[in-house]
Chain A
């Protein structure tokens, strides 16, 4: 796929766009979004100077924290401001045949669903490639830590995961930033899952609430393959996440779970696409979010059953809790069905904490605000339990509790 974005040198992101406009909120996929708040002229590409040592050690500390929470891992990669600083595999994973390396960006393979994905391919120096050839089993998760450290940068973390037939791999990506760094972060993770292969993929987005993040996760799943994706979206001032799950082989399955929480003036913007391209494919999406203070959340999800999607089964559920009068949320499920012999179900709710639940806990002597905190934590518990990698809850829960412990100012 060719790119419309200028890949040559540029002083700021506005130049790289080469006259192309960022999307407008009139486009359905950007409706309710804050895309127009992004000023591309504010962000430059990182220079060629080496990564600062204190930045690498901060990233290493986050990696150590992640490994401690997750338990045995197959390996670790540390990426600072989009530069792969370290990438190591344990001997078991090497012996099993897993391969991890930094490779030049394959622009032709870019899944250019929007201009931000195109920009990622231009800005990224390299992509981290995780490859499992046919039959490789590496069940212990591979951990990737992406750290953003510099103000005013457009950062393009880029991971490509390729699973050959009958392989099994788990990958955990953690996105963090240093302090209140103000940057534009455009993470892209693209996953290609072969026949009978299974990918467990976790993304923990715990960036500063002073920066904007526009992320894309895509998975293409072959015959009888499985994509088990799980996301925690916690940080970002404007935090956009688009997930494309393409079930391209007969019997392919996709499970998508996410939790998101916003406080202060944060906005979470989530768009999901469950594409059933072939027959007997199954997808199940379960998202849960909460917004407090003046935070906003928008979710739109589309289930598309293509003409060859006979016997497909698709589920989609998004539930958002609004925890203050000034918080705002919108949840829009959509169906596009081009074959009759399918089963689709979707559920969508937006609302405050359930009054009966609150009364019940209060009637036991639990103070009102503690009751609310317990109910919200319980609401997210189900998503945490669904994490396809054990130990991830330990990475997310403390931050979630901090976010929901009383909101921001």
Chain B
């Protein structure tokens, strides 16, 4: 079993405090939804956890199975089992997804020769055109294709904990369903994935059934509860909580 434990995390961007004491624990097999209005700091949390340059942690801790994530460079956080499905997946001209995943497998002591076969299987499972696998990373892909591409990489890399940053944006209903089903499958496998799904719509959560829902505002978690919180948010909005 794996456990992402975030305690009283504070972070700034260009000197401005954005995270103001985030505390949460995500365990294997659990799906947590982190909901909040735009600009509340949800994406900052995902970037701070993954170590994107430009974010400074000023207090608190984040560990994955007792490994201090904040002390590691980004690629070692990934090797420790953390995955970030990016809100806006970056284009990397001339570099194929296969090259990336093979390099990641090599760095984590896995056999890179397994990558092409695994990619083909996963592409078929989520309805991602295999032809896209030979394209440069995210280049000339639509928003929806990019999100399928993120899901495919997640499935092949088999992380312990995945942060999904607005995975639903850009996806049509069918794609959303295919992607959500693949992630749900990962949460119930032999080494179940723990998920922190960041979103400001309930749409994703109708497909990806959360165990815990957190309401995020002003840089911290304001309220946590069960799935019923999604319906209340839907009815009342974020205004009364922010």
Contact = CB atoms under 8 A, between A and B. Distances in A.
A364 B95 contact: no
Nearest to B108: A365
Interface of B: 50-53, 73-75, 77-79, 83-84, 86, 89-95, 99-101, 103-104, 107-108, 136-137, 153, 157
Closest 9 CB pairs of A and B: A378-B94, A381-B94, A365-B78, A365-B104, A378-B95, A362-B74, A360-B90, A362-B75, A366-B103
B50 A363 contact: yes
Interface stretch (A97-105, A249-257, A301-309, A368-376): A368-376
A363 to B, nearest CB: 5
Contacts of B95: 361, 374-375, 377-378, 381
22 contacts: A357-B92, A359-B52, A359-B53, A359-B90, A360-B86, A360-B89, A362-B73, A363-B78, A364-B100, A364-B153, A364-B157, A365-B75, A365-B78, A366-B75, A368-B73, A371-B103, A374-B95, A374-B103, A377-B94, A378-B94, A379-B94, A381-B136
Given A374-B99, A374-B100, A378-B136, A367 B75 contact: yes
| Chain A, interface residues (CB within 8 Å), range | 20 to 34
A360 B78 contact: no
Q: Which of A366, A374, A379, A382 has the most CB of B within 10 A?
A: A366
A376 to B, nearest CB: 9
Nearest to B92: A357
A260 interface: no
Contacts of A363: 50, 74-75, 77-78, 83-84, 86
A259 B108 CA distance: 33
Contacts of B108: 365
B84 to A, nearest CB: 5
Contacts of B103: 361, 365-367, 370-371, 374
Interface string A319-362: 00000000000000000000000000000000000011101111
Q: Which of A356, A361, A363, A368 has the most CB of B within 10 A?
A: A363
Q: Which of B74, B90, B136, B137 has the most CB of A within 10 A?
A: B74
A365 B79 contact: yes
B87 to A, nearest CB: 12
Given A363-B86, A366-B103, A375 B92 contact: yes
A374 B100 CA distance: 8
